[in-house]
Amino acid sequence: MDEREYRHDRARVEELLELAAGIAEEAGQMLLAKRPARPEVLATKSSPTDVVTALDRAAEELIRGRIAEARPHDAILGEEGGDTPGEGAVRWVVDPIDGTVNFLYGLPDWAVSIGVEVDGEIVAGAVHNVPRGELFTASKGGGAWLRGERLRCNTGVPLAKALVATGFGYAAGRRRVQAEVLAQVVPQVRDIRRGGSCAVDLCSVATGRVDAYYERGTNYWDHAAAGLIAAEAGARLGGLNGRPVGPDMALCAAPGLFEELHDLLVPLDPERD
């Protein structure tokens, strides 16, 4: 079978999901076992507060190694290791630690995220919220799951009663704009939560722990797996003004609330820096 047909073959997709989930669990267990009391910053990326630890890189190396053992011809896109071309239609999208600052400080919301593309479409995803021992999974058309329970996002929630998760960038200028936007959002919703991990926030939408999520500046590996989990739980994921989710904006909520939050954000020009 042509690998492009994986997306239409439930058994093949579930095989990919099982592999992603197993690797995400193994990487998470390694991180938990090896995390020192206060991990040292190894390097910075976009700003002095955008950090990388040695365990970010070690986790991605483990994940890449396990994928290569099982499927040596697949491509891999990783936050730390970049894009490794493959020979087929399958590509793995890896964030070894989403929520590195949480990991650094010992806060409970950080996750290993592994999504699987077939011909450019995410068909399977696993997000392991390691400190909480939660493994979220989803396959295209197969639903979203946690501990054997199928997930459903909250529906029928009006904007004024919505609990909304968000996040902030690393650059000072972007944070300033995000704070200005947030000041206009807070009076219009129930309350705001800032967890520190895009993947965990999207899974929180899927489980109904929050009603909606928006953030500017997320990367593909942040939301590749978790975006599928949220979508399979019934949420809508996108950008502003009909654009797809991307670095400019990630917005996620059940239909209805998605549009309300969208219409609140657009006049605030949240994509400016």
Which residues participate in catalysis according to the annotation?
79, 95, 97-98, 100, 222
Please state, in angstroms and rounded to a whole number, the distance separating the CA atoms of residues 26 and 12.
21
How large is the angle between the packed helices 257-265 and 172-185, nearest 10 degrees?
A: 120
Is the Cβ–Cβ distance between 134 and 148 less than 8 Å? Answer: no
- Residue 227 sits at φ, ψ, to 5 deg, of -65, -40
Reference 190, options 168, 223, 217, 212; nearest CA is 212
- Compute CA distances 150 → 13, 168, 212, 230, 253, whole Å: 18, 30, 19, 12, 17
